[in-house]
Amino acid sequence: MSLYRNSAWFLKGVTEFTKNAFISASKRFVEKDLEVSMAGRSFMITGANSGIGRATAMAIAKKGGTVHMVCRNKDKAEEARADIVKESGNKEIFVHILDLSETKKVWEFAESFKRKYKSLNVLINNAGCIMSQREENTEGLEKSFASNVLGVYILTKSLIALLEKSAEPRVVTVSSGGMLVQKLRTGNLQTDRGRYDGAMVYAQNKVREKPRFRQSKVREEPRFRQSKVREEPRFRQSKVREEPRFRQSKVREEPRFRQSKVREEPRFRQSKVREEPRFRQSKVREEPRFRQSKRQQVVITEQLAKNHLNIHFSVMHPGWVDTPAVANAMPEFHSSMRESLRTPEQGADTAVWLAVSHAAATMPSGHFYQDRKMVSAHLPLAWTRSSSLEEQKFMFSLEDLAKSHQPH
């Protein structure tokens, strides 16, 4: 990941993805947008037993909608269903057990659902997974790709016929702002070549770049404006040459350390020997792979919207949300940012808005949304845009993979 992409992404995150950013954005929300009854409309939500999925299911259940909770763990799903029924008073809540990483089972589930139910108004693709190491499912597919990309594609494509027969159909996919730093990858979809964690430079940059953005812009920006001769060579040098400068220049670095003692001191208390392995071993490492799957979800949404004009497709970023998945997959990030993370309800807000509001239905299909507003799916000057040829190649590869695992 380039230094610019990582830096621009984190700066955007601290200004737009946090709890305070949501509170600020919510001042322009139209309250009446969500004052609607969903009685008679049916919703399928994957990963609905916790976090954003559960908050989404609860919000829709309270509006009278029929909710189909698609979950991997039966016990957790039933527990969540009981809570939703009790709090919402809505008994039209159904649990379906499915592991999205098992491709053939996704096919079978979709076909079974179509036979049993006559309508589906909204599909919300919320479930996602971040793997700590490369694992394959029973079909030989890498689990992260199978769950986040291929499973989502198969489920959506399989249910399109049912959606098109239903009134005002919509498909909402919960993505991640992390995909903003990723360009679509059309090859090595299952990460079976090269290092599984993508690039180790990401973990190294994570250590170096986050403290800089924790400091105020007043202090940070003048350094770059006034010290270009001193700063730019540092970034042109290789990482091998750059790190010794940090270790040998305590006089220059200590003031920055002293400026943010509360947040930075614990990290600098650790020796370099202890600190760097901590980030190498952290599940933040596999975030590039997770981010790539989220970029692929955006492309899938854009392409399906072009081919199915009767369905409103959208993909959204929930912001940085305090969920069990984030706590387990990115413990350092969760620990350092916990006070700034959004609640699951705040993270689910835009997904609910896209799924139920009349206002969302008037917005263009196939676009990326954040805090009830259509936004760009790319950072400025980040070189993450792909050509139509690359996108078509990716979709063809995905379709071939899907068909090759379709039960006969």
Catalytic residue positions, numbered: 202
For residues 47 and 95, give the distance between their C-alpha atoms in angstroms, rounded to a whole number: 11
DSSP letter (8 states) at residue 146: I
In whole angstroms, give the CA distance from residue 232 to residue 200: 22
Residue with tokens 């989404």: 56
Please give the span between the terminal C-alpha atoms of the chain, in angstroms, as a whole number: 41
For residue 240, how many C-alpha atoms fall within 13 Å in the half-sphere facing its CB?
A: 0
Closest by CA to 368, choosing from 292, 286, 305, 311, is: 305
Element (H, E) at 69: strand 66-71
Determine how many CB atoms are found less than 10 A away from the CB of residue 353: 23
Alpha helix ranges (H) inside 17-145:
19-25, 51-62, 74-88, 103-116, 143-145
The tokens for 332 are: 């350092």
- Cα separation, 346 vs 221, whole angstroms: 31
Asked if residues 401 and 394 have their Cβ atoms less than 8 Å apart, the reply is: no
- The DSSP H or E segment spanning 164 is helix 151-164
Beta-carbon-side half-sphere exposure of residue 229 (alpha carbons within 13 Å): 0
**Residue spans of beta strands (DSSP E) within 90-225:** 93-97, 122-125, 170-174
Backbone angles phi, psi at 362, to 5 degrees: -85, -10
Q: Which two tokens stand for residue 88?
A: 């919402």
Residue 67: name the closest of 76, 75, 47 by CA. 47
Do the beta carbons of residue 354 and residue 314 sit within 8 Å?
A: yes
* Torsional sign, CA 319, 321, 324, 327: positive
Distance CA 395, CA 400 (A): 9
